[in-house]
Amino acid sequence: MKRILIVLLMTVMVVACSKDDDDNGNTVLEGRWTLTNVSCFCYFGENPDFSGNKLVFEGNNLKVENSGDFNFFANEVGNFTIQGDVITFNNGLQYTYVVNPGVLELTFVDDPGIADDEILFAYKKDG
């Protein structure tokens, strides 16, 4: 009887001490973000307005709002996963991310075999 009680208590402790967020998204990313800058080996014209591009993180779901001249992250809509500082979207594309006060930077995890595929997106938190 003691063994059963000990096993039961150990099971309860392991379950109670397990990771609480269970990959339900990242609260640091939670919310609406507006694109402010894109840095890459590309040309967007003089003084491009990226403000029509928004990412909305809700739990581990991504919504994208693109209005205006540019269309970014349209194929990444849906669930995403985070491991360390890498976010993987449902289409398999990966970005490292850094969140500083009110600023989200997403940097494409580039293929070393492809030249000039580096791109960095900077977003400002809305509200």
In a domain, 21, yes or no: no
Q: Model's pTM, two decimal places?
A: 0.74
In a domain, 17, yes or no: no
In a domain, 104, yes or no: yes
Q: What is the CA radius of gyration of the chain?
A: 20
In a domain, 106, yes or no: yes
- Confidence label for 111 from pLDDT (cuts 50, 70 and 90): confident
In a domain, 72, yes or no: yes
Number of domains in the chain: 1
In a domain, 114, yes or no: yes
In a domain, 23, yes or no: no
Note down the domain range covering 91.
30-125
What are the tokens at 99?
A: 């969140």
Task: Report d(CA 74, CA 65) in Å as an integer.
Answer: 8
- Answer for the pair 123, 55: CB distance below 8 angstroms, yes or no: yes
Task: Report d(CA 126, CA 96) in Å as an integer.
Answer: 21
The model's pLDDT over 20-63, given as tens digits with 9 standing for 90+, comes to 444 445 678 999 999 999 998 888 889 999 999 999 999 999 99
